[in-house]
């Protein structure tokens, strides 16, 4: 047996025990909608071979005449539809109109009896282009005389997530800009004892969900029905009301289980196009993308960050200034909000009295960027946490102790007008340091690092739910939250089972069908356990309040005489289960009670963010100086989650996020050669393998019940990604003395840096 096969992976679980009495998970209460539509057709998409070109003509006549082809759709035959959509900026056409803006942009769609016919018909579409000069980086797009991607002005989408003017299409390639400032930055730098300044790069990455984009649409006199792999069904519904000029009641979006998202399934993707195909063909149509096509649909914003940070003579951080240029690609998607969040999150998990951050989201002729796990935080934490280590080294401080002295404290309002901090980073850092054996000596070629981040998470607090308690004691939860594999549809029934005092197996989740489930703004920003969990808790309690009144009526006593006990009520010697309460009240062994809850920006949720998502990560690595190869030896994660309602799922989220961050730090990057994406395939885009994981992993959950979610819970699952690229860069510096400020740290990059150091 090879040495590799003999490797042992030690995973240490240091979670605080499950809250006493919280419903145990002993079975499943989940289901998948089975999509069966008669006469379904299939669509395939013709994609542009140019990054920037004017469309002179499109001839689809030969393709349309082929046997089995039902219709061909282009940007020229969308009459009757609003061809532009976008929740942030309405700049995205269903198909390219007048010109293409990135290589791989959809130009035409063929709808046919089967996929093979549709695919072959693409060869018979003739498109004539006038090639235009592309701009591929934010620097090129902002240069004087750079060609404009968008000449027309755009209106703001209705669900951008923040207030502010739309700058897209106003005579520059700037899609959005965001700025924050407090204190006197220039004066602080002038009096600083020490300053570190540098430029850092976070790469263009692909979220790589297991399931590519897929959707089925049917359009008839009753409206539009879509089955989709969407993360945010209600936001997609809103875009489709605009495309078809229909009321909300005539747009139905149904989301079965989704094979992963990590942000890439957020907001509207292929749903308008497949719906337009169904509208054109007058029958149900399925559009299913390959992984390669999904890579041409969305990616992360890559970011170039200039940053400087200052400390006083006592080693306290007194100022931070940064300029961030984010490469947004051809269309806005969610990048305006990513821009806003990156600006906020650039402050980092530190209490800094003087701050100035300026961020620009820039259109380029590349694949459109959008949400990516960490949501702007990963981009800027790569710079911020690297700079903290650089600053500690410059003033002769231990990086761990430097962080301990400067991180925000529990209850501190470190960001003006926002919610006071609801975590404990000192505790988190201490746990990571202990896990790594921070003070223990290291062998030559090895390095350790610690990093942390804080995100203004939870998105906008707008959530509603219904809990239906049936006469047989079973429960249905109607929720608009999407199950992406993160386990939310295990957590939600746990909460209802806990409140109602019934077995988990009796709770069923009915999810993500906009025709029957109540409104939920989105599934993302680590919000579901906090917001939907809180809504389920409140709806369960409202249902119990109703059943207490019913029990009082049945027993002919005053309500205050009724005592709620697990699974029912008691009054003196009388004991009634929930099924008995409902059956006796209605006089039949049937019926139900409906509990409702509505969460909005009020009460516990009146101050944003909904919660601060905090995490710490620590790594130990070894570097082969002959090859530049980095090997992960240890990994420690700490999720500050308030309460882990299901510790196994919470830990899975943390290790998954850290693994994604490790991929960005070591090798993940979408690479362009001129306008051509050269590694946009299954085989050529490198993601972490099991063999890349360290031999020693410790996962910790800090559970101080300091969140506004159920039982003091708050979200997790993104923050352990954010600091990982900086973790790796800092550990390489401690191992070799070379400072690399551009992720990923590939073997070639490390080898060249080591060679240059020797030279």
- Residue 267 and residue 411 in one domain: no
The answer to whether residue 85 scores a pLDDT higher than 80 is yes
What pLDDT is recorded for position 31? Answer: 30
- Cα distance between residue 557 and residue 571, in whole Å: 9
Per the domain annotation, does 32 fall within a domain? no
Q: pLDDT at residue 753 above 50?
A: yes
The percentage of residues in the chain with a pLDDT greater than 70, rounded to a whole number, is 95
Of 1, 383, 354, the closest CA to residue 198 belongs to 383
Residue 702 pLDDT greater than 90, yes or no: yes
Residue 25: pLDDT over 50: no
166: confidence class by pLDDT, cuts 50, 70, 90: confident
Give the helix, strand, coil percentages of the chain, each rounded to 5.
30, 30, 45
- 123 shares its domain with 146: no
**pLDDT of amino acid 35:** 56
- Residue 158: its pLDDT value, please? 81
Same domain, 191 and 321: yes
d(CA 301, CA 379): 8
User: Which tokens is 234 given?
Assistant: 């209600």
Which is nearest to 357 in space by CA: 390, 396, 324?
324
Domain-embedded: residue 31: no
Task: Give 307's strand partners.
Answer: 198, 322
> What pLDDT, in 10s, does the model give residues 196-217?
999 999 999 999 999 999 999 9
Which of 60, 91, 739, 69 has the alpha carbon at shortest distance from 386? 739
Asked whether 110 and 276 are in contact (CB, 8 A), the reply is no
- The two structure tokens encoding residue 700: 């910790």
Q: Check whether residue 637 and residue 749 sit in a common domain.
A: yes
Residue 310, pLDDT score: 98
Residue numbers of the domain that contains 476: 463-604
- Asked whether residue 527 is assigned to any structural domain, the reply reads yes
Res 72: pLDDT: 97
Confidence check: pLDDT of 3 > 50: no
Q: Are residues 469 and 522 in the same domain?
A: yes
Confidence category of residue 38, pLDDT binned at 50, 70, 90: confident
Write down which residue in 397, 420, 436 finishes a domain. Answer: 397
Read off the pLDDT of each residue in 593-605 and give the average, rounded to a whole number. 97
Segment 332-352 shows an average pLDDT of 96
Reduced to 3 states (helix: H, G, I; strand: E, B; else coil), residue 448 is: strand
Q: Are residues 440 and 576 in the same domain?
A: no
The pLDDT of residue 152: 84
Mean pLDDT of 331-335: 95
pLDDT band at 36 (very low <50, low <70, confident <90, very high): low
In terms of DSSP bridges, do strands 507-511 and 475-479 run parallel, antiparallel, or are they unpaired? Answer: parallel
Query: Is the model's pLDDT at 91 over the cut of 70?
Result: yes
Q: Are residues 520 and 669 in the same domain?
A: no
Contact yes or no for 107/122 (Cβ under 8 A): no
Residue 402 lies in a domain: no
pTM of this structure: 0.93
Least confident of 149-158, 280-289, 392-401, 597-606: 149-158
Other C-beta atoms closer than 10 Å to the C-beta of 412 total 11
Residue 12 class from Cβ within 10 Å (0-12 exposed, 13-18 middle, 19+ buried)? Answer: exposed
- Render pLDDT for 464-477 as a digit per residue (tens, 0 to 9): 999 999 999 999 99
Q: What is the pLDDT of residue 606?
A: 95
| Radius of gyration (C-alpha) of the chain in whole angstroms | 27
DSSP letter assigned to residue 532: I
Residue 362's Cβ-side half-sphere holds a number of Cα atoms within 13 Å equal to 24
**Which of 3-7, 272-276, 578-582 is predicted with the least confidence, judged by mean pLDDT?**
3-7
Tokens of 407: 């991180």
Where residue 156 falls among pLDDT bands split at 50, 70, 90?
confident
Mean pLDDT within 661-667: 97
Q: Look at residue 324 and give its three-state secondary structure.
A: strand
Q: CA-CA distance, 194 to 207, in Å (whole number)?
A: 38
Long-range Cβ pairs for the range 246-253 (8 Å, 24+): 249/223, 250/222, 250/223, 250/224, 251/223, 251/224, 251/226, 251/514, 252/223, 252/224, 252/225, 252/226, 252/513, 252/514, 252/515, 253/225, 253/226, 253/228, 253/512, 253/513, 253/514
Task: Provide the 8-state DSSP code for 604.
Answer: G
Work out the burial of residue 607: count CB atoms within 10 Å of its CB; fewer than 13 is exposed, 13-18 middle, 19 or more buried: middle
Same domain (yes/no): 339, 198 = yes
**Confidence check: pLDDT of 18 > 60:** no
Ordered DSSP codes for 222-246: TEEEEEE--S-HHHHHHHHHHHHT-
The answer to whether residues 114 and 189 belong to one domain is: no
- Same domain assignment for residues 469 and 577: yes
Average pLDDT over the chain reads 93
Does 253 have pLDDT greater than 50? Answer: yes
- Checking if the pLDDT of 538 tops 60, the result is yes
Q: What is the pLDDT of residue 153?
A: 82
Query: How many Cα atoms are found within 13 Å in the side-chain-facing hemisphere of 494?
Result: 24
- Three-class SS string for 95-113? CCCCEECCCCCEEEEEEEC
pLDDT(351) > 60: yes
Does residue 33 lie within any of the structural domains? Answer: no
Q: Is the pLDDT of residue 17 over 80?
A: no
Residues 623 and 697 in one domain: yes
Confidence of residue 33 (pLDDT cuts 50, 70, 90): very low
Average pLDDT (123-144) is: 97
Q: What is the CATH number of the domain that holds 560?
A: 3.30.365.10
Per-residue pLDDT of 436-450, as tens digits, reads 999 999 999 999 999
Q: Rounded distance, CA 305 to CA 303, Å? A: 6
pLDDT of residue 183: 98
Last residue of a domain, one of 260, 288, 316: 288
* Residue 635, domain member (yes or no): yes
pLDDT per residue as tens digits for the range 364-412: 999 999 999 998 999 999 999 999 999 999 999 999 999 999 999 999 9
Tell me how far apart the alpha carbons of residues 118 and 111 are, in angstroms, rounded to a whole number: 6
pLDDT for the residue 759: 86
Spell out the long-range contacts of 6-11 with Cβ–Cβ below 8 A and sequence spacing 24 or more: 7/695, 8/695, 9/693, 9/695, 9/697, 10/695, 10/696, 10/697, 11/697, 11/698, 11/699
Domain count, the chain: 4
* Within a domain: 314: yes
Residues 101 and 236 in one domain: yes
The last residue of a domain, from among 586, 604, 622:
604
Task: Look up residue 409 and give its DSSP letter.
Answer: P
Q: CA 441, CA 473: separation in Å to the nearest integer?
A: 60
Q: What is the mean pLDDT of residues 603-631?
A: 96
Contact 201, 304 (CB under 8 A): yes
């Amino acid at each position: 047996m090879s040495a590799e096969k003999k490797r042992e992976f030690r995973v240490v679980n240091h979670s605080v025990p499950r809250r006493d009495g919280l419903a145990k998970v002993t079975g499943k209460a989940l289901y998948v909608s089975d999509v069966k539509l008669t006469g379904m057709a299939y669509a395939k998409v013709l994609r542009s071979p140019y990054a920037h070109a004017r469309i002179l003509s499109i001839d689809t006549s030969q393709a349309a005449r082929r046997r089995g082809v039902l219709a061909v759709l282009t940007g020229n035959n969308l009459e009757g539809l609003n061809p532009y959509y976008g929740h942030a900026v309405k700049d995205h056409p269903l198909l390219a109109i007048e010109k293409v803006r990135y290589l791989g942009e959809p130009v035409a769609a063929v709808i046919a009896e089967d996929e093979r016919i549709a695919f072959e018909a693409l060869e018979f579409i003739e498109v004539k282009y006038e090639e235009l000069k592309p701009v591929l980086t934010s620097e090129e797009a902002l240069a004087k005389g750079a060609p404009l991607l968008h000449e027309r002005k755009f209106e703001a989408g209705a669900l951008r997530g923040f207030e502010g003017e739309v700058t897209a299409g106003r005579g520059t390639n700037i899609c959005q800009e965001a700025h924050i400032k407090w204190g006197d930055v220039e004066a602080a730098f002038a009096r600083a004892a020490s300053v570190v300044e540098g430029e850092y790069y976070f790469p263009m990455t692909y979220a790589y969900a297991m399931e590519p984009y897929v959707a089925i649409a049917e359009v008839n006199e009753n409206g539009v029905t879509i089955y989709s792999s969407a993360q945010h069904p209600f936001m997609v519904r809103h875009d489709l009301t605009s495309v078809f000029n229909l009321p909300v009641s005539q747009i139905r979006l149904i989301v079965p289980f989704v094979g992963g998202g990590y942000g890439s399934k957020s907001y509207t993707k292929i749903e308008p196009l497949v719906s337009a195909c169904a509208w054109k063909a007058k029958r149900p149509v399925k559009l299913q993308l390959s992984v390669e096509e999904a890579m041409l649909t969305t990616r992360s914003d890559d970011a170039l960050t200039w940053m400087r940070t200052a400390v006083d003579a006592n080693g306290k951080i007194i100022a931070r200034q940064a300029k961030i240029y984010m490469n947004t690609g051809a269309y806005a998607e969610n990048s305006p909000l990513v821009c806003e969040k990156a600006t906020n999150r650039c402050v980092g998990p530190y209490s800094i009295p003087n701050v100035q951050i300026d961020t620009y989201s820039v259109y380029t002729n590349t694949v459109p960027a959008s949400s990516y796990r960490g949501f702007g935080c990963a981009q800027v934490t790569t710079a911020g946490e690297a700079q903290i280590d650089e600053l500690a080294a410059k003033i002769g401080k231990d990086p761990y102790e430097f962080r301990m002295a400067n991180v925000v404290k529990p209850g501190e309002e470190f960001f003006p007008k926002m919610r006071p901090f609801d975590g404990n980073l000192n505790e988190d850092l201490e746990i990571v340091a202990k896990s790594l054996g921070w003070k223990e000596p290291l062998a030559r070629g090895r390095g350790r690092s610690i990093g942390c981040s804080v995100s203004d998470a939870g998105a906008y607090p707008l959530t509603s739910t219904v809990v239906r308690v049936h006469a047989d004691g079973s429960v249905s939860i109607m929720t608009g939250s999407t199950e992406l594999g993160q386990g939310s549809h295990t957590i939600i029934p746990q909460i209802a089972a806990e409140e109602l005092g019934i077995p988990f197996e009796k709770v069923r989740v009915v999810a993500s069908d906009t025709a029957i489930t109540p409104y939920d703004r989105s599934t993302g920003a680590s919000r579901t356990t906090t917001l939907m969990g809180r809504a389920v808790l409140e709806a369960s309690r409202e249902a119990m309040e109703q059943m207490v009144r019913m029990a009082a009526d049945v027993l002919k006593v005053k309500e205050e005489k009724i005592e709620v006990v697990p699974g029912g009520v008691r009054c003196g010697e009388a004991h009634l289960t929930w099924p008995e309460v409902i059956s006796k009240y209605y006089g039949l062994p049937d019926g139900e009670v409906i509990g409702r809850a509505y969460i909005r920006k009020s009460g516990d949720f009146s101050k944003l963010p909904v919660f601060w998502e905090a995490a710490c990560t620590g790594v130990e690595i070894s570097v082969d100086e002959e090859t530049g190869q980095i090997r992960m030896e240890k990994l420690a994660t700490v999720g500050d989650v308030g309460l882990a309602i299901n510790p196994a799922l919470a830990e899975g989220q943390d290790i998954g996020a850290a693994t994604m961050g490790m991929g960005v730090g070591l090798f993940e990057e979408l690479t362009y050669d001129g306008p051509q994406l050269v590694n946009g395939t299954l085989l050529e885009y490198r993601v972490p393998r099991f063999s890349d994981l360290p031999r020693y992993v410790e996962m910790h959950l800090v559970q101080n019940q300091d969140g506004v979610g159920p039982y003091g819970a708050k979200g997790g699952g993104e923050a352990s990604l954010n600091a990982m690229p900086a973790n790796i860069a800092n550990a390489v510096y401690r191992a070799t003395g070379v400072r690399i400020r551009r992720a990923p740290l590939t073997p070639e990059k490390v080898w060249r840096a080591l060679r240059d150091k020797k030279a």
